Structure 1
Amino acid sequence: MEATRTQQTVSPQIKISDSEWEVMRVLWTLGSADAQEITSLLGERMDWKLATVKTLLGRLVKKAAVTTETAGKKFRYFPAVSEEETIQSATENLFSHVCAKKMGATIADLIAESTLTQADLELIKEALAAKVPVAKIACNCIPGQCECSEHQKTTK
């Protein structure tokens, strides 16, 4: 029987849940897998059953993060987005929720909390050396959302 593969249009901003991330990590590592393979890899650590993995795969297909290939009754799943694209999307999503004036502190916290190799530190140093600073950053929060002086009410 000939295999058929379904493809969907990939969304530029794919938001996936923590559980979906775990499934995607398996697919990015293996290149493709069926639900049973994913369950055997994640089942014990995540305490997931086959039905849970199939539900997560269905959501990922709907989000166009995963494509499927069928051969008879068996489905094989393939990542439709790269790990790099998904990390970029998640990073953009995270930073869209952070006050622009707190971006530097947030990045510093991420670095402080991360386990990094010397190569990672060199990469960060290179990125910082290439970065051109701006004189001032305008707050992008709604009034009352942050404590910056731009949003402080003045009473006379």
Structure 2
Amino acid sequence: MRISEAESIVMEALWRHEGAQSAEDIVAATAAAQGWQEATVKTLLNRLLKKRAIAAERDGRRYLYRALLKRADYVHVESKSLLDRLYGGRIAPLVAHFSERSKLSKKDIAEIRALIEEIERGR
């Protein structure tokens, strides 16, 4: 399932709060920062419903929305897609790119080292 950038903003609003939220709650959490109208958010909710990334249940005269797609699953798919498209599925060229272009901070380097050590201990 492919989630657009705009849809991911709506998903982030749902992931941030446990439980179901009304369309009005989601509009309040996303619309102003994005310059969206209420209709835009509702269109995005409908797209996400069709993709089965979210579910809706009737609550009186309104619907409450909740995420079906877990954030960790979304991040995994997006990360894999990025690696596949830009780096042939390999992580080392991604890290090298950031090393060359962004000057990894000492903290970043320490975290990468700790992660590598953890991975090696697990093998």
The bucket for the TM-score relative to the shorter chain is: 0.7 to 0.9
Instruction: Please tell me whether residue 108 in structure 1 is matched to residue 96 in structure 2.
Output: yes
Which of residues 5, 14, 17 in structure 1 aligns to 2:4?
17
Partner in structure 1 of residue 23 of structure 2: 35
- The 5 A counterparts of 1:74-153 are 74-100=62-88, 103-110=91-98, 113=102, 118=107, 123-129=111-117, 130=119
Which of residues 70, 78, 92 in structure 1 aligns to 2:58?
70
One-letter amino acid of the counterpart of residue 61, structure 2 = K
Aligned residues of 1:15 and 1:89 also touching (Cα < 8 A)? no
Secondary structure of the structure 1 residue equivalent to 2:21: coil
Aligned length: 118
Give the CA deviation at 1:96.
2.0
* Root mean square deviation of aligned Cα: 3.0
Give the CA deviation at 1:72.
2.8
Secondary structure of the structure 1 residue equivalent to 2:82: helix
Note closer, same or farther for the CA distance 1:103–1:47 as it changes in structure 2 (3 Å cut). Answer: same
Note closer, same or farther for the CA distance 1:88–1:78 as it changes in structure 2 (3 Å cut). Answer: same
Aligned residues of 2:23 and 2:64 also touching (Cα < 8 A)? yes
Structure 1: gaps of 5 or more residues: 1-13, 132-156
- Larger helix percent: 2
Note closer, same or farther for the CA distance 1:95–1:50 as it changes in structure 2 (3 Å cut). Answer: same
Give the CA deviation at 1:65.
1.0
Secondary structure of the structure 2 residue equivalent to 1:59: helix
Percent of pairs with identical residues: 25
Give the CA deviation at 1:98.
2.6
Structure 2: gaps of 5 or more residues: none
Normalised to the residue count of structure 1, the TM-score between the two structures is 0.63
Greater Cα radius of gyration, structure 1 or 2 = 1
